Amino acid sequence: MDPYVLLKLIWWLLLGVLLCGLGVMVGMDMGVGAALRYYGRSDGERRAVINMIAPHWDGNQVWFILGGGAVFAAWPTIYATAFSGLYVVMLVLLWSMIVRPLGFEYRSKLPSQRWRKGWDWMLFISGAVPMIVFGAAMGNMLEGVPFHFSWDMISYYTGSFITLFNPFAVLCGLMSLALAIYQGSAMVMGRGSGEIRERAMRLLTWAGTAALVLFSVCGIWVSQMSGYAITGGANPAGPAIPLDKTVATLGGAWLHNFMAYPVLWVVPAAVYVAVILGMGAARSGHSHLAWWLGALAWVGTIGTVGAAMFPFMMPSSSNPSQSLTVWDASSSAGTLTWMLVFTLIFIPIIAIYTSWAFWVMRGKVTPEKIEHDEHAY
Amino acid sequence: MHDLSTVVDLSRTQFAATALYHFLFVPLTLGLSVLLATMETIYVITGRDIYRRMTHFWAKLFAINFALGVATGLTMEFEFGTNWSTYSHFVGDIFGAPLAIEGLMAFFLESTFVGLMLFGWDRLSRGKHLLVTYMVALGSNLSALWILIANSYMQRPVGSHFDPTTMRMELSSFPDLIFNPDAQAKFVHTSVAGYVTAAIFVLGISAFYMLRGRHLDLAKRSFRVAALFGVFSILATITLGDALGFINGHAQPTKLVAMEGLWQTAEPLAGFNLVAWPDQKAQRNDFEVKVPYVLTPLVTHSFNQAIPGAHALENAAKVKIRDGIPALEALHTLSKHPHDTDALAQFRAHESNLGYALLLQRYAPDVGKATPAQIDKAARDTIPPVAPVFWSFRFMVAAAFTMLAFLIVATNYSVRNRITKKRWLLRIAPWMIPVPFLANETGWVVAEIGRQPWTVYGQLPTWLSASTHSVGYMVFSLTGFVLLYSLFIVIEMYLMVKFIRLGPTDGSTQPDSPTPALHSSQWSEA
């Protein structure tokens, strides 16, 4: 295989890994934020829940930041086109997300109940909204976004922002929120006790069920919508310029890959298996297992989108031939190689110290312990 | 055309506002992380509890500041894509890499260990906790390194070439990119400026406690550590600032012109404009006070080199613009006929001045038909706005020398243990806190306004770099940022002041000022 093709494929997979990392790690914290007022009824209980993720939310959030940086480095055309095209969506994402660090850090600094309640709502918004936007952005990618390029590769977005929140995209957003709440609940179950643990278990079942229903609805929708297919001119080993190919829109095109390679059905099936087993594991008290199965559900969900769309990454609904694909939206071979070297060196190191951090801070967090801990939030 | 320049102006305003705002918190994080590591090292070596309490207390303030640094940093990571999409496509192949490496190498390190640093006190041994604090300091400094490598590419685009097939800059040498001489000087200059910021922050607050007679032991020791740390840092800041001026001045003569208010070429030995009133339109200083002979050795590190002024640089730019026109025309041909070898040859012959043709494109969309007047206009654009750069530079330098004097005096009295008697100095210290912050901000202004009219110096003009948004979108986002960020700073300042006034509270063994916390903890233990 041509080395440039291989690099593009590796970076397509690595983008998937990053999105999964984002879903699992950031999603977990955001699920906790979104359901904080459900897990904890009193201020003491809520503090306990917040302190379960207190030492970790910042590290986890780097998955989101790295996601942005890696898309910039490996898929600069996507970074430029998607982030500017989805401008209002990105702003909603950003504004809801930047409230979150303050919510964690400042909430318990003052004893006032009004202050704390206000921040609780901020944590709700900054948990729920970004996950909905994350899913909705994926939904928009499946539907295609109205953009085109001029000859000198300046991109123009021609849609209105309201179409970005169409019904299908919102359903995808809710699906992503459901998975996030599932993941957060599995973590709260593991590190909480008593009432908090009970509530987390109940919520996990609800969230898991909702995720499966939404995944099914979205799946049927995708199978019926008009997808995209390359009809000529694409050169996988060619330079990264998305102007030289032809693309057609076809009903059911997003199923073509599954029909050509039936083994791919394993990927969506994994979502069902993981969530159903995960809910069972949670019911029998194995929260740790439920958490890992939730992570598998994220991999299955993002994998399903990737498998359906490949090699498309960001189709253009207004000018399909200028759609961005794996073959024509990446960095140069040199940049992809250097980035791969850094990734291969640092991802294992990150995995080691992140695991160490979780291990150091392991154990149950209870309202009583938090009461006597001067370092707690 | 009018719409486009409004959108670009609004995008610039938004980027400047969010970057300057972010840069209020980052230097303090940078410096305070190193100061915390210093204090904790003393604690681990000497085993004296006072240094543990010092680390605890300053870590609390660190966390309040850190949260906003993280929050506003999210904006920066996405703003290139949301608002500068043409720029992002044009240089993403190069510029994206250091940003992503920053995430891999620095953000993960800093963010993962900051949680352990703040919450792991009771779960880690002394040595392990110290290691964690070092990792936080290392992470924040590494992130400064990578972001400044990225920034330096905008200042001095090395290790890349323009690819006429993909219509963007592509990486030719990764080592050249990371060993950019601008990046080396800039990294040290910026990070030690952060150390100065933290030192003066700690000095000011410690002085406030000494004036009130509170937490004397903690305040005196914090003052001493910070003063020593600060005096070395400010010396390094000034030295590296000079080096950066030298390196960057050669790479960007137009920035140098703006910094020094030089309209005419300065023959050696030229005088230094101490103050001046630059008039951009008339291209002269309406008023100036010169220090004779100083400028030439200051800027060129020699006694016999001339420094080209704005007029000379403008004339040179006209030549480059004319030379760049065939490159842009060839590029247009290549976009329609990718295999046209004549066009490729024409492009290769003129590619080094492609950026200058893009500068002209603003006034002459079809550059081949550009009039001499349009070329003159584009050439005039190559001189950045002189007054803001000139004055920001002078403010920054004056602030640096003020801080140097202050830090020398503070160190002197502190080391000789006479600081509590020098109440005049203690009274000045809290008022010094804003100075490093303002110096940091003006430093950013010098670097980035001085880079105009380019986003990537000599390669990509600013007018072409922004996303193609409507004015309405830009007004919406700018309003949102202003509202949100204003609210944030109010909350942050409120908490910061509150916790400074409250002082260190975990002092169950504090000898010099029994606090209510002491009694209540005795009660609960009894």
Residues A274-333 pLDDT 10s? 999 999 999 999 999 999 999 999 999 999 999 999 999 999 999 999 999 999 999 999
At residue B340, φ and ψ (nearest 5 deg) are -70, 105
> Does A80 reach chain B within 8 Å, measured CB to CB?
yes
pLDDT attached to residue A372: 79
CA–CA separation, B425 and A137 (whole Å):
56
User: How distant is the Cα of A151 from the closest Cα of chain B, in angstroms?
Assistant: 7
A139 pLDDT higher than 60: yes
User: Model ipTM?
Assistant: 0.92
Q: In tens digits, what is the pLDDT along chain B, a chain of 526 residues?
A: 457 889 999 999 999 999 999 999 999 999 999 999 999 999 999 999 999 999 999 999 999 999 999 999 999 989 999 999 999 999 999 999 999 999 999 999 999 999 999 999 889 999 999 999 999 999 999 999 999 999 999 999 999 999 999 999 999 999 999 999 889 999 999 999 999 999 999 999 999 999 998 998 999 999 999 999 999 999 999 999 888 888 888 889 999 999 998 899 988 888 888 888 998 888 888 888 888 888 888 888 888 888 899 999 999 999 999 999 999 999 999 988 888 999 999 999 999 999 999 999 999 999 989 999 999 999 999 999 999 999 999 999 999 999 999 999 999 999 998 888 889 999 999 999 999 999 999 999 999 999 999 999 999 999 999 999 989 999 999 999 999 999 999 999 999 999 999 888 754 444 444 343 333 333 333 2
Is the domain A3-315+322-365 a CATH 1.20.1630.10 member? yes
Pick from A72, A156, A353: which is nearest to B92 by CB? A72
Pick from A66, A156, A361: which is nearest to B107 by CB? A66
A365 pLDDT higher than 70: yes
At residue B189, φ and ψ (nearest 5 deg) are -55, -45
CA–CA separation, B225 and B294 (whole Å):
36
pLDDT attached to residue A160: 85
| Residues from chain B contacting residue A65 (CB–CB below 8 Å) | 73-74, 77, 103, 107
Ramachandran class of B229: left when φ > 0, alpha when ψ lies in -120 to 50, beta otherwise: alpha
CA–CA separation, B499 and B484 (whole Å):
23
Q: Which residue of A has its CA nearest to B489?
A: A102
A61 pLDDT higher than 70: yes
| Beta carbons within 8 Å of B389's beta carbon, 6+ residues apart | B255, B258, B259, B445, B446, B449, B450
pLDDT attached to residue B338: 86
Please state the domain extents for chain B: 2-252+389-513, 322-381
User: How distant is the Cα of B119 from the closest Cα of chain A, in angstroms?
Assistant: 6
Enter the tokens of residue A13.
């997979």
pLDDT attached to residue A164: 86
Question: In three state form, how does the secondary structure of A221-245 look?
Answer: HHHHCEEEEEEECCCCCCCCCCCCC
Chain A residues 90-109 with CB within 8 Å of chain B: 90-91, 94-95, 97-102, 104-106, 109
A-B C-beta contacts closer than 8 Å: 251
Q: Average the pLDDT over A100-111 and give the result.
A: 89
Sequence letter at residue B103: G
Pick from A59, A335, A346: which is nearest to B93 by CB? A335
- Residue A1 confidence class, pLDDT cut points 50, 70, 90: confident
Q: Does the beta-carbon distance from A346 to B104 stay under 8 Å? A: yes
Pick from B88, B167, B174: which is nearest to A72 by CB? B88
CA–CA separation, B191 and A257 (whole Å):
51
What average pLDDT does the structure give for chain A? 93
> Does A57 reach chain B within 8 Å, measured CB to CB?
yes
| Residues from chain A contacting residue B336 (CB–CB below 8 Å) | 151
pLDDT attached to residue B187: 93
| Residues from chain A contacting residue B331 (CB–CB below 8 Å) | 152
Pick from A69, A79, A155: which is nearest to B102 by CB? A69
> Does A88 reach chain B within 8 Å, measured CB to CB?
yes
